[in-house]
Structure 1
């Protein structure tokens, strides 16, 4: 996905630099093609998830509303990668396909999911090292990949939801 996005971005930059009428027509055609492609990817991904896990499954997603993926500290070539994925569209596709399969999708707060120790419950921003993608709890000594840690905390929020808590959060 990232390679194809980068290819489209490079082609768009080249056509925008030209600025001719035909380049603008080509840009419009190109944007439609890219949008259809990412829609197809999202459809296939949501379909695969629902088929793999079957009926009566709870899918727990982070609510990314208001979360900014803007990174001005990155080189210009890498800035667009984080913000160009259609998360909202994927969540919508997954929701309607899960409902057709007697499954449920909930969105939980993204707050502290990458800062909370799953072993002792300590929440501390400094425990996470963004550069190494590592989390290390100074309280209990737990150490893990920060993405894995986030997934474990999201799973815990899903468990809280199943236990009866309407809007689980840390």
Structure 2
């Protein structure tokens, strides 16, 4: 996102100066960036609810215990790491949750484990099948390949299907191969 990158650059310049006026400016920029991010999350949640209408099941990953430490993000570049760490996931979830109530829809939070490591065709879970550097998932068992984010979305859809079919706590099993 261009706007987020500009906030990052200005913040870095001001932090390197370290003057009293730079610190005041940092505080002002922080508020502006927070208001902008809140607006983005508000518009995104509103668009989702309006687009998919009544009686929709929105399936999202529960990112409560997901760590965004450097050791978990070392395959990504600095800009991607910063963008991921600074996104307001919880706020987006809250906005989506209260907006769906007006449309008789539902937000289902599912365990994030293996959603981007599981092949949606054969069901094999293998961490090394996801290639962060080229944003591609290639299953070494059946050969299926696609964009890694699309794979995650397909697996979230599968978990939603499991929920609609009666599984109150859908998740992927332990057929993991490291």
**CA shift in 2, pair 1:77/1:164, >3 Å:** closer
Q: Which runs of 4+ in 1 moved over 6 A?
A: none
Structure 2 counterpart of 1:126: 128
Deviation at 1:167, TM superposition (A): 0.8
The residue correspondences of 1:6-155 to structure 2 (distance < 5 A) are 6-70=5-69, 71-72=73-74, 74=76, 76-155=78-157
Let me know the Cα RMSD of the aligned residues.
Answer: 1.6
Structure 2, unaligned runs of 5 or more: 173-178
Q: Matched residues in 2 for 1:120 and 1:79: separation?
A: 31
- Aligned length, in residue pairs: 169
Q: After superposition, give the CA deviation of every residue in 1:1-52 in whole Å (9 maximum; x if it has no partner).
A: x211111111112122222222221111111111011101110110010001
Deviation at 1:114, TM superposition (A): 1.2
Structure 1, unaligned runs of 5 or more: none
- The worse-fitting range, judged by mean Cα deviation, of 10-19 and 89-98 is 10-19
Q: Matched residues in 2 for 1:137 and 1:78: separation?
A: 24
Task: Assess if the C-alpha contact under 8 Å between 2:54 and 2:104 holds in 1.
Answer: yes
TM-score normalised over the length of structure 1: 0.91
TM-score normalised over the length of structure 2: 0.88
